[in-house]
Amino acid sequence: MSDRVSTSELRETWESAAPGWAKWETEFAKNLVGPTEKLLDLAGVASGMRVLDLACGAGSQTLKAAARVGEGGQIVACDIASEMLVHLGRNAERAGLDNIETLCSAAEDLADAVPPVDAAISRLGLMLFASPKDALAAVQSVLKPGARFAALVFTTPDNNPYQSKPMAILRRHAAAPPPAPQAPGLFALGAPGVLEGLLRDSGFADIEMVTLRAPVRLASADDALAFLREAAGAYRAVVAHLSDEAQAAAWAEVRDCVGQFETETGFETAYELIIGSGAKPR
């Protein structure tokens, strides 16, 4: 598959998921408050900066970055799905933030569209890109010398059962072969040394890696299922080609799976995440 075809499919996947993502963005973001703040810290985001947010989605982290840079700063929120940016615009308006500009673009096409920035971030997006290496080359091209980039990704399947077990079920129902090593996917950059090596090979210096866990709490296992079905484009895409009946059977098994995380007080599990950050050499 060529990068062009892959990028086209990626855009279609996230355009279709955008309404569901916008619906669940607030609940999803509650589970990532600490990791998001750490992501901004490791990118060096501060007052007055111009910051790129790559694969911004509906933008809960964009809003946090915009609040941190203040009126004297600006956020360039970039996403491959135009519908995501529509929702981000609405969220920014509700938050009273007017220092966010949006850009609908694939990551690898940034170089000609973004003036130099003081920092860049990507929250749970880099591992899903058609070519993370090309994306980082584009980020390098728009960062000012000495400016930092930080990416937050999932670690490994074993340490993220809410993500990995449903995906395995859906892939089995879809008769999908195992993903090739480091092919785009939820865990493509999560194994030890992979993200760090990618940053180093892409020319970043002063690399820092931080692994952390974040609790995942939702009202019920039904909500956990609904989030995957409605908002998580990577899951929806796996079974999109199946008949309605076959999709229903797959999702019913996923519901049984996520039920194991339901407690007397609701759905509870955890994410394990890693943040990799580095600076563009001066």
Domain range holding 112? Answer: 3-156+181-217+271-279
Q: In this predicted structure, what is the pLDDT of residue 213? A: 96
Q: In this predicted structure, what is the pLDDT of residue 113? A: 80
Flag whether 224 is in a domain. no
Flag whether 168 is in a domain. no
Cα 233 from Cα 220, distance rounded (Å): 21
The structure tokens listed for 60 are 């809960």
Flag whether 264 is in a domain. no
Q: In this predicted structure, what is the pLDDT of residue 58? A: 85
Q: In this predicted structure, what is the pLDDT of residue 144? A: 97
Q: In this predicted structure, what is the pLDDT of residue 6? A: 65
Q: How many domains does the chain have?
A: 1
Flag whether 226 is in a domain. no
Flag whether 30 is in a domain. yes
* Average pLDDT, consecutive stretches of 10 residues, N- to C-terminus, the chain (282 residues): 56 79 85 96 98 93 97 95 91 95 90 90 93 94 97 97 96 89 85 96 97 95 94 88 96 97 96 98 94
Whole-prediction pTM: 0.91
Flag whether 99 is in a domain. yes
User: For the domain that residue 137 is a member of, what is the CATH number?
Assistant: 3.40.50.150
Other Cβ atoms less than 10 A from the Cβ of 272: the count is: 17
Flag whether 257 is in a domain. no
Q: In this predicted structure, what is the pLDDT of residue 182? A: 65
Flag whether 24 is in a domain. yes
Cα 253 from Cα 256, distance rounded (Å): 5
